[in-house]
């Protein structure tokens, strides 16, 4: 796999580009400080939400399948419903993230109209 990563905002090549370290990347810290700061907060929130969410899902599934005396069809329906509900709190920040990246990308392009990367 290629180690060359490009900045998702301005297209510049990065030394460290992998997602988990993006907010610590010197390029983002220097040129997109606002984004780096936002991303750091976003990842922390996402981890917290994801953890709480997964815990709640596991508890609900255990309740449905072990402790609630329900027929299998009802258990299946509730299981699917729980899974869908679980996906909502994960999807919302993911969409928010995409919107944020698009926003900062647009902002960068407006502020640097003559800076084009191949």
Site of interaction with Zn ion (CB under 5 A): 7, 9-10, 12, 31
* Half-sphere exposure for 30 (CA within 13 Å, toward CB): 7
Q: In the numeric block, which tokens belong to residue 97?
A: 């993230």
CB of 5 to Zn ion, least distance (A): 11
CB of 42 to Zn ion, least distance (A): 17
CB of 109 to Zn ion, least distance (A): 11
27 in Cβ contact with 14 (< 8 Å):
yes
Q: Which is nearer to Zn ion, 26 or 94 (CB)?
A: 26
With CA atoms as reference, report the closest residue to 107 among 40, 5, 8, 3.
8
Q: Which is nearer to Zn ion, 31 or 65 (CB)?
A: 31
């Amino acid at each position: 796999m290629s180690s060359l990563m490009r900045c998702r905002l301005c297209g510049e090549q990065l030394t460290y580009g992998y997602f988990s370290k993006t907010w610590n990347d010197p390029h983002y810290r220097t040129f997109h400080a606002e984004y780096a700061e936002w991303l750091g907060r976003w990842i922390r929130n996402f981890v917290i939400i994801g953890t709480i969410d997964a815990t709640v899902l596991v508890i609900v599934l255990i309740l449905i399948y072990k402790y609630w005396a329900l027929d299998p069809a009802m258990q299946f329906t509730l299981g699917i419903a729980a899974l869908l509900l679980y996906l909502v709190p994960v999807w919302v920040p993911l969409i928010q993230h995409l919107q944020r990246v698009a926003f900062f990308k647009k902002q960068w392009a407006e502020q640097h109209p003559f800076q084009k990367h191949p």
